[in-house]
Amino acid sequence: MTNNLPRVPLSQWVNDLPQAQQDRLLEQIKMVQSWVNDFAQVLGKKRAPKARITNRVLYYAPWSNVVAVPAKMLLEADGRLLRIAVAHECGHFNRRWISLFSRSDFSRLREEIQADRVAMALTGASLDDLDAVVRELADYEEYWSSEALDSYIEQRRSLLQLAETEAR
């Protein structure tokens, strides 16, 4: 699956959708917001991030406290994998300021592993599920070569397994 969203402002792209798809997009973002609210409550946070629609990549924005989900993902992605991906972004929210100031490659990777662990705890996801999420995201974000994606998944899985072993 490729992301062939036109390079136009999101509002224009959404307005050009048929009404049924616009309605579905709004239903989906409301569902994502309910997940975010539930995850924040489980994490013991008082103020959940706002779920927003974007036309680019899935991300958590600490300054604005927003979980942004690409419109195309909201319309087409596997719901179970989308929920795990949103839980991962809530993992970044859980470490909001620490995550923001992670500058080195090592600290950014450590934050990704921490967010994965939160996603696993919140959703019951397995390592295979996380691999599937990364592959699903890669379809929407388009910047991964298959070799780089396989290497990233293998590295991430190894680090997650190491973190799980150390946690025991």
Quick: pLDDT tens for 50-71: 999 987 789 999 899 999 999 8
Question: Which 8-state DSSP code applies to residue 17?
Answer: S
Quick: pLDDT tens for 13-24: 677 788 898 899
Query: Which whole number is the average pLDDT over 18-47?
Result: 94
pTM: 0.85
Q: Rounded to the nearest 5°, which phi and psi values hold at 154?
A: -65, -45
Return the domain boundaries, the chain. 10-167
Question: Considering the domain 10-167 in this protein, what is its CATH number?
Answer: 3.30.2010.10
Query: Which whole number is the average pLDDT over 4-8?
Result: 48
Task: Tell me what pLDDT residue 118 has.
Answer: 95
Contacts of 156 (CB under 8 A, 6+ apart): 112, 113, 116, 130, 134
d(CA 49, CA 107): 23
Contact 84, 69 (CB under 8 A): no
